[in-house]
Structure 1
Amino acid sequence: MAKALGVGGIFFKSKDPQALMSWYQTWLGLPVEGGEYASFAPASMPEGSSTVFSAFKANTGYFAPSKREFMFNLLVDDLDGALRQVTEGGAELVGDVQAFDYGRFGWFLDPDGNKVELWQPAAKG
Structure 2
Amino acid sequence: MSLSIVTPGIILGTEKYDACVAFYRDVIGLPVWYTKPSLVCLRFGSGYLMIEHGGVAVEGRRKANSENPTMIRLNVDDVEASAEILRTKGVEVDVKHFEWGTVGTFIDPDGNPCELKDAGDPYFQETQ
Matches within 5 A, 1:1-125: 1-3=1-3, 5=5, 8-34=8-34, 36-42=40-46, 65-67=62-64, 68-94=68-94, 96-100=95-99, 103-122=101-120
Q: Which amino acid aligns with 1:116?
A: C
Q: When the two structures are superposed, what TM-score results if normalisation uses the length of structure 1?
A: 0.61
Q: When the two structures are superposed, what TM-score results if normalisation uses the length of structure 2?
A: 0.59
Aligned to 2:52: none
More strand by proportion, 1 or 2?
A: 2
Is residue 71–residue 115 contact of structure 1 (8 Å, CA) maintained in 2? yes
Point out where structure 2 has 5 or more consecutive residues left out of the alignment: 47-60, 123-128
Q: CA shift at 1:112, angstroms?
A: 1.3
Instruction: Give the fraction of aligned pairs with identical amino acids, expressed as a percent.
Output: 27
Return the alpha-carbon distance in structure 2 between the equivalents of residues 70 and 40 of structure 1.
Answer: 16
Aligned to 2:49: none
Aligned partner of residue 23 in structure 1, secondary structure: helix
Is residue 97–residue 106 contact of structure 1 (8 Å, CA) maintained in 2? yes
Point out where structure 1 has 5 or more consecutive residues left out of the alignment: 43-63
Q: 1:7 to 1:33 in 2, by over 3 A?
A: closer
Is residue 72–residue 115 contact of structure 1 (8 Å, CA) maintained in 2? yes
